[in-house]
Amino acid sequence: MEDNSKNMRLREWLIAQIESGKYAGLSWENHEKTMFRIPWKHAAKQDYNQNEDAALFKAWAVYKGKFREGKDKADPSAWKTRLRCALNKSTDFQEVPDRSQLDISEPYKVYEILQEGGKKTDKPCTPDTATPTVFPTSLQKNSQGTSPVLSPQFMQVDSEWKDSQVQCRPVASVKAHVQDSSHSMECDGHVKGSFYTWTLPGAQITQTQTLQSLTLPTQIPISDFRLNVRLFYQGILVRDFTTSTADGCRILHGTVPIENEQIYGPSAMEHVQFPPPEQSRAGQRVVDAMNRLLPHLERGVLLWVAPDGVFVKRLCQGRVYWNGPLAQHSDRPNKLERERTCKLLDVQLFLQELQEYFRNGRQSPRFEIILCFGEEFPDPAQDKSKKLITAYIEPVFARELYLNRKSINAGRSQFLTKSNGESGPHGNLKCVIQQ
């Protein structure tokens, strides 16, 4: 009997575990016993308990001989990944996303037990070949170029830190991508022509247009492609960095090879590395959670400013969520899909909002972008300062335009106030200025 139990397939093994009642949260979903729940708690949750929440995953690792108590180092993340991959590859199971609950205090996934050979195709768990990436350096400088834009439709939310690889349609070449970005990847994006100029390689990064001529948004050529990046660990600033080139930057953990730019991005991109979690001065439990999350951020996210906006491309396996001017939701998570380019800020829209703000007192234009690594964001149930790792990004041109214009308006108001007081009872100077 013991020998038979050691030769059970995943199907028989899981059914036996469900029937045993040994694991909290592992239960049948229906009376017919064709579907079951499997607990799926995020390791970053404050109430995460390895002995309870990773027990089933550990049991499968022990059963398969992948973990020996007292000899091997405990790795709950690897245990969970191993069982997830086994479920995905098996033809006996099919995930039922509509029944899964991943955003509650005790999250779980639901799987259906299929008839023998019921699932025709396997879901891959091994990394796919990354598709070529097109970055700012690939665009034609000082031309009416285009940039890939992805409409932010990021509704899928999961409690794991990392995703399975997604396969995008291959790009024939960098040049072809610039000419027709509709072939770059499968997404519901809209490609928009740019009316701004791009800085020449080696050109000085300055905002040359004077603010006094800000009459129409299209009259300002954007020539400052720097980004200010601030990294926070649970609300504590651990790094403040401003890029110095037009090539953008990569926020990442560790280092990456530079010999393959199509996979890892341009070598000219500046690296903004996550500091050791110990710099956060947080408690040991939080530091441990950060140390579990950071390895999933090795390929990082790429950020750059193009003539018509700010863009991001997530390459890391770790999930990344965001909020900003173009975010679809402000009260629930916006997820960055892996290997896809997403537009975070639109230059024309920002300039229009800037005009409306100073001319008509409308809402202040938004140009700050927040990335949250490994945890859902925005999250009404938790303040952003409680998130493990966040990055605040501001395009320097937007911040300087806003502050300079604000300074000009303040000076103008002081001038008008002083002039009104010196113009006499008829207010002639005031009339001339208003004309």
Considering only residues 88 and 183, tell me which one the structure prediction assigns the higher pLDDT. Answer: 88
pLDDT at 362: 82
Host domain of residue 12 = 2-113
Residue 427 lies in a domain: no
Six-digit token string for 362: 């409308």
Quick one: 253 and 370 in the same domain? yes
Residue range 340-379, pLDDT digits in tens: 999 999 999 999 999 898 888 788 899 999 999 999 999 9
CATH for 106: 1.10.10.10
* Confidence band of 222 (pLDDT split at 50, 70, 90): confident
Place of tokens 């991005």: 265
Distance CA 184, CA 178 (A): 9
Distance CA 320, CA 346 (A): 20
Distance CA 343, CA 322 (A): 11
* Confidence band of 310 (pLDDT split at 50, 70, 90): very high
Considering only residues 129 and 380, tell me which one the structure prediction assigns the higher pLDDT. Answer: 380
Closest CA to 341 of 193, 34, 136: 136
Quick one: 257 and 301 in the same domain? yes
Residue 131 lies in a domain: no
Quick one: 32 and 142 in the same domain? no
Residue range 131-142, pLDDT digits in tens: 333 344 333 333
Per-residue pLDDT for 246 more than 70? Answer: yes
Range scoring the smallest mean pLDDT among 108-117, 126-135, 216-225: 126-135
Quick one: 21 and 74 in the same domain? yes
Distance CA 160, CA 104 (A): 13
Quick one: 197 and 303 in the same domain? yes
Closest CA to 313 of 249, 238, 259: 249
Give the chain as a 3 state SS string: CHHHHHCCCHHHHHHHHHHHCCCCCCEECCCCCCEEEEECCCCCCCCCCHHHHCHHHHHHHHHCCCCCCCCCCCCHHHHHHHHHHHHHHCCCEEECCCCCECCCCCCEEEEEECCCCCCCCCCCCCCCCCCCCCCHHHCCCCCCCEECCCCCCCCCCCCCCECCCCCCCCCCCHHHHHHCHHHCCCCCCCCEECCCCCCCCCCCCCCCCCHHHCCCHHHCCCCCCCEEEEEEECCEEEEEEECCCCCCEEEECCCCCCCCHHHHCCCCCEEEECCCHHHHCCCHHHHHHHHHHHHHHCCCEEEEEECCEEEEEECCCECEEEECCCCCCCCCCCECCECCEEEEEEHHHHHHHHHHHHHHCCCCCCCCEEEEECCCCCCCCCCHHHCCEEEEEEEHHHHHHHHHHHHHHHHHHHHHHHHHHHCCCCCHHHHHHHC
Quick one: 222 and 322 in the same domain? yes
For residues 398-418, average pLDDT? 72
Quick one: 148 and 102 in the same domain? no
Residue 125 lies in a domain: no
Q: Which residues pair with 239 in a beta bridge?
A: 231
Considering only residues 190 and 98, tell me which one the structure prediction assigns the higher pLDDT. Answer: 98
* Confidence band of 260 (pLDDT split at 50, 70, 90): low
Quick one: 59 and 181 in the same domain? no
Per-residue pLDDT for 160 more than 60? Answer: no
Per-residue pLDDT for 83 more than 80? Answer: yes
Per-residue pLDDT for 39 more than 90? Answer: yes
Closest CA to 335 of 129, 155, 131: 155
pLDDT at 365: 92
Per-residue pLDDT for 165 more than 70? Answer: no
Mean confidence (pLDDT) of the chain: 74
Last residue of a domain, one of 78, 113, 148: 113
Phi then psi dihedrals of residue 233, to 5 deg: -110, 110
Residue 239 lies in a domain: yes
Quick one: 163 and 252 in the same domain? yes
pLDDT at 113: 94
Distance CA 278, CA 259 (A): 32
Residue 412 lies in a domain: no
pLDDT at 217: 44
Residue 84 lies in a domain: yes
Side by side, which strands form the sheet with 389-395? 236-242, 227-233, 389-395, 369-373, 320-323
Quick one: 107 and 141 in the same domain? no
Report the percent of the chain where pLDDT is more than 90: 43
Phi-psi region of 94 (alpha: psi -120 to 50; beta: other; left: phi over 0): beta
CATH for 347: 2.60.200.10
* 28 Cα distance to chain centroid: 35
Quick one: 58 and 205 in the same domain? no
- Domain count of the fold of the chain: 2
Quick one: 317 and 266 in the same domain? yes
Residue 434 lies in a domain: no
Q: Which residues pair with 391 in a beta bridge?
A: 231, 371
Residue 62 lies in a domain: yes
Contact 40, 107 (CB under 8 A): yes
